[in-house]
Amino acid sequence: MQLRDNFSLQPFNTFGIDVKAKHFAAFTAVQELQSILALQPETLMILGGGSNVLFTKDYDGLVLHNELKGIELVKEDKDYYYVKAWAGENWHQFVQYCIANNYAGLENLSLIPGCVGASPMQNIGAYGVEIKDVFYELEAYHIHDKTLVTFNREDCAFGYRESVFKRQYKNQFVILNVTYRLSKQPHYNISYGAIEQELEKMAVTDLSIQAISQAVIHIRSSKLPDPKEIGNAGSFFKNPQVPAEVFKQLQTVHPAIVGYPVGDNEIKLAAGWLIEQCGWKGYRKGDAGCHAKQALVLVNYGHATGDEIYHLSEEIIQSVQQKFGVTLEREVNIV
C-alpha cells in the first residue's frame, strides 16, 4: 500500500472534477485497511467508483480507495443462492457474473456504475427493483471501534435511495462485502413499462434474466450519458414524494404532471419532468449543464468545477420550489 500526497481525484470521480486529496491510498486487503486506520487519520472518506459524489473543493484529509476483490457462492438452499461480493468489485461486472450463473434478481440493475460496496449505501435501484429486495447481509468495519459488524436487511433501514450508512452511521463504517440472496427460479419484474416495450422491440419470445438485462442496458444507454464521454453522477436529485392531496392540487394547475403512487396516499413525482418544465433541460453555462435527454442528470462538459455544478443545482432547486412549491433533495453526496 502506497500513501500518496496531493493526489488528483479527477480519474476517480465520474463527474471528472479536478480536485486533489491531501492524502490518498488504495487498500486491497482488510489487513491493509486496518493498518491505515491504526494511524488514526482525522479526516477520511472511502471511495468506490466515484459515481455518486460531487467534489466541490480539494479534500483536506485521506481518501481511501476500496479495491477489495472477490465473488463467492457462500451457501445455497432449496430456493436461493447466497452470493458474497467484496466491496471493490465493479457492480455491473458482478451483475453480469450472476446472470451468467443463472442467479436471478439483479438483472434489472444492470449497467449501474460504481462498486458493490456502495450498493447498500443508498439502496441502489432501477427499473422496478431496489437492492433491498435481494439483500441478505453485509460486513462492515467500524472505523473508530475497530470491530467487524454484520448488518442484516433490517439493520440497514433501507428506504428510497437511503440507508443507515447515509444517515446515522455516515462516515463510521467501511463496507467490506455484501451478500445477496438470489433466486434459483427467476421472478421476472417487467413492471416498468419501458422494459416491456424494449423486449417487444427486441422480439424476445422466451423471457429470461439475460433478455431483461439486455433490455435495461439498451434503455439506459439511450438516455443516460456515459460518464466516459460526459461527466455526470446519474440522477442528481431524488424524485420527491408528496401527499396525494398535494398531487391533486398540482394536477389542477399542471394537468400533465408525472407522478406514481407509492405506499398509502403518497405520490412520487418525476423530478425530471418538474426540472424540464422550469426550462432547464439542455441548459449549459460554461461547462456545467443539465442533460438534453434527461433533465434529472447534471453534467460536466469538460472543465466545470464542483462549485459550478453545485451552484446550478441550487438554482434548479429554487426554480422548482418557486413554480411547483416542491423541494428537491440531492441524491448525490456532496463532498
**Is residue 302 classed as helix, strand or coil in its secondary structure?**
coil
Identified binder of ligand EPU from the candidate list 289, 313, 331, 335, rule CB under 6 A: 331
Residue 251 or residue 260: which is nearer to ligand FAD going by CB? 260
Looking at 20-28, 37-45, 198-206, 269-277, which segment touches ligand EPU (CB under 6 A)?
269-277
* Binders in 243-262 for ligand EPU, by CB under 6 A: 258
Query: CB within 8 A of 249, min separation 6: which ones?
Result: none
Question: CA 6 to CA 188: how far, in whole Å?
Answer: 48
Choice from 14, 108, 179, 305 touching ligand FAD (CB under 6 A): 14
Backbone angles phi, psi at 92, to 5 degrees: -65, -40
**CB closer to ligand EPU out of 22 and 166:** 166
295 interacts with, out of ligand FAD, ligand EPU, none, CB within 5 to 8 A per kind: ligand EPU
Cell of 183: 433466486
Phi and psi for 35 in degrees, rounded to 5? -70, -30
- CB 237, CB 313: distance < 8 Å: yes
Which residues lie across from 139 on neighbouring strands? Answer: 150, 177
Residue 272 binds ligand EPU (CB under 6 A)? yes
Joined grid coordinates for residue 275: 426540472
157 binds, among ligand EPU, ligand FAD, none (CB under 5 to 8 A by kind): none
| d(C-alpha 284, C-alpha 289), whole Å | 4
> Residues 291-301, buried b or exposed e (16+ Cβ, 10 A)?
beebbbbbbbe
Sites for ligand EPU among residues 137-196 (CB under 6 A): none
Cβ pair 136, 181 in contact under 8 A: yes
Contact between 306 and ligand FAD by CB under 6 A: the answer reads: no
Region of 1-9, 164-172, 234-242, 312-320 interacting with ligand EPU (CB under 6 A): 234-242
290 near ligand FAD (CB under 6 A)? no
Report what 276 binds from ligand EPU, ligand FAD, none; CB cut-off 5-8 Å by kind: ligand EPU
Using CB under 6 A as the criterion, which residues of the chain lie in contact with ligand EPU when the complex forms?
Answer: 126-127, 234-235, 238-239, 258, 270, 272-273, 276, 281, 294-296, 331
